[in-house]
C-alpha cells in the first residue's frame, strides 16, 4: 500500500465524514430546535443517521470493500455499542446542570473523537483484510 493511496483514502474518509457530520448536525438541530426532542434522543437519532450514511459511502468509495456487508455492519454496530453509550453519557454529564457546557460544543468535540476512532476502527478492523477488494483493476 503506497503512502499516496493511504493519503487519498484518508482524504476521502474525511470528506465523507464531513458530509455525515452535516447530516448529524442538521438532524440534531432540527430535533432540538424545531421539535424540542430530549437532547439525548436527538443526539442518538442524529448519530444513527450519520453512521448509516458514512458507512455506506466509505465502504464503497474509500475502502473499496467487497466484504460481506452484514458482517461489516455488525462490526460497525459493535463499535457503536461501545461508543454510543459512552458518548451519550458524557454528553449528558457535560451539558447537564453541573457542568453546563453548550450542547453544540459538546457535539463538536464528540464528533471529532468519533471521526478519529471510527477511521482507525474501519481501516484496521472492519475493512482491514478486504481493502480495495472491490476496486476495478
Lowest mean pLDDT segment, chosen from 3-17, 53-67, 84-98:
84-98
8 Å CB contact between 87 and 65: no
Residue 80's pLDDT band, with cuts at 50, 70 and 90, is very high
Question: How distant, in Å, are the alpha carbons of 15, 43, 90, 112, 136 from that of 84?
Answer: 22, 10, 10, 14, 35
pLDDT at 97: 82
Average pLDDT over residues 53-70: 93
Average pLDDT for 110-115: 91
Q: pTM higher than 0.85 for the full model? A: no
Grid cell digits, residue 36: 424540542
| Cα 120 to Cα 60: distance, rounded to the nearest angstrom | 17
Amino acid at each position: 500500500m503506497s503512502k499516496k493511496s493511504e493519503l487519498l483514502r484518508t482524504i476521502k474518509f474525511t470528506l465523507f465524514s464531513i458530509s455525515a457530520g452535516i447530516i448529524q448536525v442538521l438532524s440534531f438541530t432540527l430535533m432540538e430546535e424545531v421539535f424540542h426532542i430530549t437532547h439525548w434522543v436527538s443526539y442518538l437519532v442524529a448519530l444513527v443517521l450519520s453512521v448509516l450514511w458514512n458507512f455506506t459511502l466509505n465502504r464503497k468509495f474509500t475502502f473499496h470493500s467487497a466484504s460481506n456487508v452484514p458482517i461489516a455492519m455488525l462490526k460497525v454496530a459493535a463499535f457503536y455499542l461501545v461508543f454510543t453509550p459512552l458518548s451519550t453519557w458524557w454528553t449528558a454529564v457535560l451539558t447537564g446542570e453541573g457542568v453546563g457546557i453548550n450542547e453544540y460544543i459538546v457535539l463538536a468535540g464528540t464528533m471529532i473523537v468519533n471521526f478519529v476512532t471510527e477511521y482507525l476502527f474501519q481501516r484496521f478492523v472492519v475493512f482491514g483484510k478486504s481493502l480495495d477488494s472491490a476496486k476495478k483493476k
